Amino acid sequence: MTLFSRYIISLYLKYFFILFVSLECFFVLIDLVKYLDELPQSANLIVLLIFYDFVYASNFILPLSLVLAQIVLSISMLRNSQFTAFLALGYSKARIFLPIFIVSFLITLLFVLLNATPFAYAKERVDLIIERGYLGSYKNDLFIKYNENYIYFEKIFPLLKMAENVKVYEVFNKQVIKIIEAPKATFIEDKWKLEDARITTLDSNLEVGKNPLKIEEQKTYETLEGFKPKILDNIYEKQGSVSIVDALEAIWLLKKQGVNTQKLRSSLYALIFFPFFAPLVMVCLARFTPNSNRYANIGGITLGMILGVLIVWGVFFSFSRLSMSGFLPPEVSIILPIGILGLVSLWLFLRLFKE
């Protein structure tokens, strides 16, 4: 890495961290004021609330901070004539901005990878702390089909990976052949382990004088391989958060069952593609950065850039929400706009090299 690249990157990262931390603190402070009457009594839970709220806010703050940091860097270099001096020394716009394009892309890629981890469930944990005062969520009275089985959960705790009062109905040729009941079940090693299971087997060949029911009890009984509790949570939660990994597994499961996957596909595309809004917009802004502050209205340019970024971000965010609500297909409302922005950015990036 050249000395010039290190210099540009250090300036950019300085502005980025200042903006990111400032906006995050502002967001968290506003949320704390909003939840002031509902804050838990435990100091530990308040600390966790602040942490998870900080993580959740990064979904909105990180892309904006990446773009705003470039705007601040550009205006700062224009005001002190550094930008003009670099151009006079033979550096092109593409060479000046390329280091920060790479840094913003790597930060965005890292953020997308984090969305494949429990990092994505920060909002859910914030809601749990505020609404219930603890971090263990549960769902009541759920009934779902999985492969050839029908499963009933009286209570399921997705975060704890356990359930209470579980009934599994095994079906063959549209007939119930076995009923497994258990007061408690735990998800271990990609399987549900039912404890103190009561297994009722139904004989399909009915004969007079013969008991068609065979009842046995087992200390443990393993079933429902691959049926993760968080997948079940995502299926029933209308506005629930979801990680990339869980979204992929849930889509695969629901497709096998013939269930609509639009909400999950919307969440998946938003997690993967929406963050790249930042580096793509940064390329567009670089193309319209003036070469000198002598004939440019710096105040007007700054205001125009910020308003333009916020408007574009708002449009993309609105499209993603319309997709999650089921109003628009996610391929049209998320992938298509990002694809168009990507093509425009590529065209402008190639033009930068020609200047």
Q: Return the pLDDT at 43.
A: 80
40, 143, 166, 254, 346 from 152: Cα distances, Å: 33, 4, 6, 17, 51
Instruction: Name which of 140, 127, 145 is nearest 52 in CA terms.
Output: 127
Is 24 part of any domain?
no
Residue 99 lies in domain = 62-117+266-354
Q: What integer pLDDT is reported at residue 66 of this predicted model?
A: 94
**In angstroms, rounded to a whole number, what is the distance separating the alpha carbons of residues 124 and 126?**
5
| Amino acid in position 238 | K
Angle made by CA atoms 300, 344, 292, in degrees to the nearest 5: 35
Does one domain contain both 140 and 99? Answer: no
pLDDT number for residue 172: 78
9 in a domain, yes or no?
A: no
> How confident is the model at residue 276, as a pLDDT?
92
Same domain, 292 and 214: no
In a domain, 287, yes or no: yes
Is pTM beyond 0.95? Reply is no
Within a 10 A sphere around the Cβ of 197, how many other Cβ atoms?
22
Which pLDDT does position 339 carry in this prediction?
93
Q: List, in sequence order, every residue forming a beta bridge with 147; answer none if it has no partner.
A: none
> Token pair of 169, please?
């109905």
Q: What is the model's pLDDT at position 163?
A: 82
Closest CA to 130 of 203, 218, 48: 48
Measured distance CA(322)–CA(333) in Å, rounded: 8
Of the residues 238, 258, 282, the one at which a domain ends: 238
- Note whether 187 and 216 are same-domain residues: yes
Residue ranges of the chain with per-residue pLDDT less than 50: 236-239
Do 110 and 159 share a domain, yes or no?
no
- What is the tens place of the pLDDT at every residue in 95-123? 889 999 999 999 999 999 998 888 888 88
Instruction: Yes or no: say if 164 and 182 are a contact pair by the CB < 8 Å rule.
Output: no
The Cα 59–Cα 121 span in angstroms is: 11
Same structural domain for residues 230 and 281?
no
Residue 170 dihedral angles phi and psi, to the nearest 5°: -90, 130
Q: Say if residue 230 is in the same domain as residue 270.
A: no
Domain boundary among 221, 238, 255: 238
Residue 297 placed within a domain: yes
Total tally of structural domains belonging to the chain: 2
- Domain endpoint, select from 195, 222, 238: 238
Q: Is residue 252 in a domain?
A: no
Residues 201 and 106 in one domain: no
Same domain, 154 and 229: yes
Q: Which of 168, 163, 169, 121 is nearest to 140 (CA)?
A: 163
266 close to 284: Cβ distance less than 8 angstroms: no
C-alpha radius of gyration, the chain, whole number: 27
Q: Assess if residue 11 is contained within a domain.
A: no
Same domain, 164 and 204: yes
Structure tokens at 345: 């950015």
Indicate if 214 and 282 belong to the same structural domain. Answer: no
What's the pLDDT score for residue 229?
60
User: Which of 139, 204, 134 shows the shortest CA–CA distance to 174?
Assistant: 204
Q: Are residues 215 and 142 in the same domain?
A: yes
The reply to whether 39 falls in a domain is no
- Quick one: 178 and 206 in the same domain? yes
Residue 8 in any domain: the answer is: no
